[in-house]
């Protein structure tokens, strides 16, 4: 007999995608755009940045400094305007080098920093417990080493460990490194009442490695799109999917900004804005039942910063040593670990070899599903790419092409079911990533000196979200660090960490040519945390209000 | 030849080999699964004891043990979600096929948490087959003071097992009591994945109820069926505890906790009962442990790190 499923289990709606309702996305007028810091939306995306970690020694003087900083803090309005002008100039001049440059800065505060600047009352309303605790207190929960003196243990961090936690993080970003350095020097000189704990200059990698991280893979390919418009009618995230070309009932133009780029309600990133519904891919959530942050922090965003060292020789040595076990080439094994080839071309669309042309097509590089065949999408007239001419991705439900342990499949399972159920839940986990590399590259250097090999290099990981626990911490602990979630197959070999009573071994189950899998143990950390912090990037209005003056 | 001759029980050896219990258990499981349920477009769900399938791949289907229903209902108040997660009765709240019982000391502090994925159907069958053995198992698992009269009800001259007895709710835990945690419903939800004609997982209709288990089962079965494959449940056909993660949990001195987990029912590969208790020689109790710097106040804080799993496989009908 077939079990009869009562109403409590198995109910579902008659149509896919969740409730189809008119989508009224929020509109941001100029005042609103000028209140949101620009590295949140649309993101700085500048090639030269400086991360300045400061501690407040004199709160009264520091409040004056914060207020003085306010006019320099770059807003969403300024950054969006710059990006639009840059794109227009590029189209007009038909070159990427449009001759535009800018120097920008944003600022964020730890919970303690807010207490010092605004008083206990200003900080009292934050319900985000992880923010209140801080990164150091949550470190081992994220899989960081539990053994003191081991690389990566919080006691050894350059900043953010016990006793050297920053109250303020300033990010300076520029198209020109000298302009970046000049502005950072000005901030340093003017920081009365504050002590600079640590600074990290961060620069994108040069030449062909531009946009790649130190292991040699293009980074930041997949970002969520942010729903919402400006009051001139333009979208915060530009839309490219042609709704008129879709069959009735196919709402993918409402689901994606560009093919593969899922749209998410802005409240997932900006406090107080409409959030993503927990059950629907398209709908906003009802307003929160109770305030989870003080009113002054509306349109702010939590910022997670992690200084991650990358051990490039260890990564290479592993892929070369393990390729034999995996019965494939080191290059293919490395691509399996990441889920993409170095160019950024996804395994789901380029299973056997890298395809730089696919990677260069921004309308194709991210257009794929994992469990099902991917259907083509037509682009709106005037889209910056020709029609997607690459073979569409085919279903990989068993994880043989892009394994379940692959970094990109761990971090964003897309349309797949997960340990928390439906893909609408996955949209709640996405973050706006704004990281940038630091240190000299080793990738592409034919005969590196011992000094170059030994130099520190890595990623200044930065992400923004409206929670820390349900976004950054969730995907880190629950998915990257687990060998069984969201699917069995091993740990995320890139950023996953595991510390089981001091045992840091991880593993991946690599699909073999015979249909089986080869379990490969990973006995070293390729990525080691060495600092960071949990911060709030407040609305700019707070800099001359609650936090400064 | 079918992959399964007789469905194995979730826990081996509760009764001696040859007991009629085992045939009855097989009949119960086989009666829960149709020989085959075709998908509306492709694929099928089949009874591995009735239909021969060449297995292409095994697939464990995991989900989180703490109720998603509570996490989304109290999206901004995790403390309240954990509070309500402690409620366990026939209508709620431990909906994800993981139920737990918390033991507290005289100060109200947690000393032990027991998790189960044991089926009421199994224990009811055991009670009907060998009532004395049922009492013995309750005594072993919960408390030596358990008496037969505690576990059975007399109604109109008929004595029947009371699954909602105090040793399974108030004073301990042996098996599921939440009404929607049962094998027929789990199988029914999984078979429901075959009813989808959607082209991909984004287009699959979202269920308005919020249980992670249901969506997970339905979507995973549907995704495999859309590849024109047959889906079977692997032995033992039941809900199992798939994993637990205490990494980063700390003792009162800040050092990592020891391994305080004990699998007490099921098998090492497919546990159905898991107990968490600090050994006395450690000098502290569960409530003294911190998870991510936060002290343990509720069993749900542990349940959030426990995974429930159904073991399945995908294949093609043998020719």
pLDDT in tens, A426-468: 999 999 999 999 999 998 898 999 999 999 999 999 999 999 9
Q: In terms of Cα–Cα distance, which of B173, B159, B220 is closest to B192?
A: B220
User: Does the beta-carbon distance from B258 to A501 stay under 8 Å?
Assistant: yes
Mean pLDDT score across all residues of chain A: 94
Residues of chain B with pLDDT under 70: 1, 208-209
DSSP letters for A264-296? E-GGGTSTTSPPBPSS-SSPBPPPPSS--S-GG
With 60 as the cut, is the pLDDT of residue A9 above it? no
Total CB pairs under 8 A between chain A and B: 223
Are B223 and A372 in contact (CB < 8 Å)?
yes
Residue A91 confidence (pLDDT): 83
pLDDT tens profile A155-208: 999 999 999 999 999 999 999 999 999 999 999 999 999 999 999 999 999 999
Give the model confidence (pLDDT) of A296-352 as tens digits.
999 999 999 999 999 999 999 999 999 999 999 999 999 999 999 999 999 999 999
Sheet holding B110-116, edge to edge: B99-104, B110-116, B271-277, B261-266
C-alpha B129/C-alpha A75 separation (Å) is 73
Q: Rounded to an integer, what is the distance from CA B50 to the centroid of its chain?
A: 25
Q: Per the CB < 8 Å rule, is A419 touching B208?
A: no
The verdict on A254 touching B (C-beta cutoff 8 Å) is no
Chain A residues closer than 8 Å to B46 by CB: none
Would you say residue A367 has pLDDT above 50? yes
Q: Residue A21's pLDDT is what?
A: 57
**Residue A154 confidence (pLDDT) above 70:** yes
- Best of A165, A373, A420 to substitute, by most chain B Cβ atoms within 10 angstroms, is A420
Residue A22 pLDDT grade (very low, low, confident, very high; cuts 50, 70, 90): low
Q: Hey, which residues 226-265 in chain B have their CB within 8 Å of chain A?
A: 226-227, 242-243, 245, 247-248, 250, 255-259
ipTM value for the complex = 0.96
CA A12 to each of CA A351, A417, A423, B20, B315: distance values in angstroms, whole numbers, following the listed order:
35, 15, 15, 40, 27
Q: Which residues contact A247 (CB under 8 A, 6 or more apart)?
A: none
pLDDT higher than threshold 50 for residue A288: yes
**Contact across the interface for B62 and A142, Cβ inside 8 Å:** no
Judged by a CB distance cut-off of 8 A, whether residue A1 touches chain B is yes
Q: Alpha carbon A123 to chain centroid distance? A: 26
| Contact: A141, B198; criterion CB under 8 Å | no
Peptide bond into A286 cis (omega under 30): no
Q: Minimal Cα–Cα distance from B158 to chain A, Å?
A: 28
- Residue A113 pLDDT > 90: yes
Residue B202 to residue A17, Cβ atoms within 8 A: yes
Q: Which of B60, B76, B309 is closest, CB to CB, to A127?
A: B76
Nearest to A16 among B62, B192, B198 (CB): B198
Q: How many CB atoms lie within 10 A of CB B95?
A: 26
User: How far does the CA of residue A416 sit from the closest CA of chain B (Å)?
Assistant: 6
Cβ contacts of residue A88 below 8 Å, gap of 6+? none
pLDDT at A147: 93
Q: What is the mean pLDDT of residues A10-16?
A: 43
């Amino acid at each position: 007999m077939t079990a009869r499923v009562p109403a409590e289990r198995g109910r579902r709606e008659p149509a896919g995608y969740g409730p189809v309702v008119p989508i009224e996305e929020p509109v941001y007028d100029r005042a609103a755009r000028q209140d949101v810091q620009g590295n949140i939306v649309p993101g700085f995306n500048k090639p030269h940045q400086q991360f300045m970690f400061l501690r407040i020694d004199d709160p009264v003087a520091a409040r004056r400094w914060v207020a003085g900083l306010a006019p320099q803090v770059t807003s969403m309005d300024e950054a969006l305007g710059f990006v639009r002008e840059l794109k227009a100039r590029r189209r007009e001049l038909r070159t990427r080098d449009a001759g535009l440059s800018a120097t920008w800065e944003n600022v964020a505060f730890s919970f303690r920093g807010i207490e010092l600047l605004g008083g206990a009352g200003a900080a009292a309303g934050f319900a985000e417990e992880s923010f209140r605790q801080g990164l150091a207190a949550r470190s081992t929960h994220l899989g960081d080493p539990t053994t003191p003196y081991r690389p990566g243990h919080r006691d050894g961090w350059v900043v953010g460990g016990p006793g050297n936690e920053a109250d303020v993080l300033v990010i300076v970003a520029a198209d020109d490194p000298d302009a970046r350095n000049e502005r950072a020097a000005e901030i340093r000189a003017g920081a009365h009442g504050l002590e600079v704990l640590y600074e990290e200059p961060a620069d994108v990698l040069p030449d062909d490695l531009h946009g790649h991280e130190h292991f040699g893979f293009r980074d930041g390919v997949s970002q969520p799109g942010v729903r919402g418009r400006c009051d001139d009618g333009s979208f915060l995230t530009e839309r490219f999917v042609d709704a008129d070309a879709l069959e009735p009932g196919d709402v993918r133009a409402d689901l994606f900004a560009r093919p593969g780029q899922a749209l998410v309600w802005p409240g997932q990133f900006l406090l107080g804005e409409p959030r993503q519904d927990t059950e629907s891919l398209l709908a906003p959530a009802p307003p929160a039942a109770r305030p989870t942050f003080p009113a002054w922090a509306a349109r702010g965003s939590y910022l997670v910063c992690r200084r991650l060292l990358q051990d490039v020789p260890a990564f290479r040595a592993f892929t070369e040593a393990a390729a034999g076990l995996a019965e494939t080439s080191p290059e293919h094994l490395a691509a399996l670990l990441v889920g993409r080839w170095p160019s950024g071309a996804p395994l789901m669309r380029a299973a056997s070899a890298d395809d730089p042309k696919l990677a260069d097509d921004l309308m194709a590089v991210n257009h794929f599903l994992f469990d099902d065949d991917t259907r083509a999408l037509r682009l709106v007239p005037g889209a910056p790419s020709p029609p997607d001419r690459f073979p569409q991705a085919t279903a990989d439900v068993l994880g043989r092409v892009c394994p379940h342990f692959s970094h990109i499949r761990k971090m964003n399972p897309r349309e797949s079911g997960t340990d928390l159920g439906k893909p609408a839940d996955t949209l709640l986990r996405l973050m706006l990533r704004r990281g940038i590399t630091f240190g000299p590259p080793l990738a592409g250097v034919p005969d590196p000196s011992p000094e170059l090999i030994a130099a520190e290099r890595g990623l200044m990981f930065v992400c923004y979200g409206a929670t820390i626990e349900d976004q950054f911490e969730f995907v880190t602990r629950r998915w990257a660090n687990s060998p069984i979630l969201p699917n069995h197959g091993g740990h995320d070999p890139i950023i996953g960490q595991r510390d089981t009573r001091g045992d840091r071994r991880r593993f991946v189950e690599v699909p073999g040519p015979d249909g089986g899998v080869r379990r490969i143990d990973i006995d070293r950390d390729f990525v080691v945390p060495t600092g960071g912090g949990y911060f709030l990037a407040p609305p700019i209005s707070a800099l001359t209000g609650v936090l400064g003056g | 030849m079918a992959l399964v001759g007789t469905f194995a029980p979730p826990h081996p050896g509760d009764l001696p080999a040859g007991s009629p219990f085992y045939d009855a258990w097989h009949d119960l499981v086989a009666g829960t699964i149709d020989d085959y349920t075709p998908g509306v477009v492709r694929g099928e769900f089949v009874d591995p004891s009735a239909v021969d399938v060449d297995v292409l791949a095994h697939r464990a289907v995991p989900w989180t043990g703490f109720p998603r229903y509570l996490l989304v209902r109290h999206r901004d108040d995790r403390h309240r979600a954990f509070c309500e997660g402690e409620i366990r009765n026939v209508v709620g709240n431990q909906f994800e096929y993981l139920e737990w019982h918390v033991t507290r000391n005289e100060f109200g502090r947690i000393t032990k948490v027991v998790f189960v994925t044991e089926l009421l159907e199994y224990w009811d069958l055991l009670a009907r087959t060998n009532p004395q053995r049922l009492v013995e198992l309750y005594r072993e698992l919960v408390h030596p003071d358990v008496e037969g009269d505690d576990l059975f009800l007399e109604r109109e001259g008929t004595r029947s097992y009371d699954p909602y007895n105090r040793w399974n709710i108030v004073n301990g835990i042996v098996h599921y009591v939440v009404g929607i945690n049962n094998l027929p419903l789990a199988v029914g939800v999984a078979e429901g994945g075959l009813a989808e004609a959607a082209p991909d997982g984004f287009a699959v209709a979202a269920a308005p109820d919020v249980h992670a288990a249901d969506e997970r089962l339905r979507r995973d079965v549907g995704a495999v069926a859309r590849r024109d494959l047959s889906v079977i449940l692997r032995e033992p056909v039941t809900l199992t505890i798939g994993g637990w993660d205490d990494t980063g949990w700390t003792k009162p001195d800040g050092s990592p906790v020891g391994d305080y987990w004990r699998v007490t029912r099921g098998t090492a590969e497919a546990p159905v009962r898991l107990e968490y208790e600090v050994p006395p020689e450690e000098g502290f109790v569960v409530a003294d442990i911190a998870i991510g710097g936060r002290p343990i106040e509720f069993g749900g804080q542990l349940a959030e790190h426990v995974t429930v799993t159904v073991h399945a496989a995908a294949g093609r009908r043998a020719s």
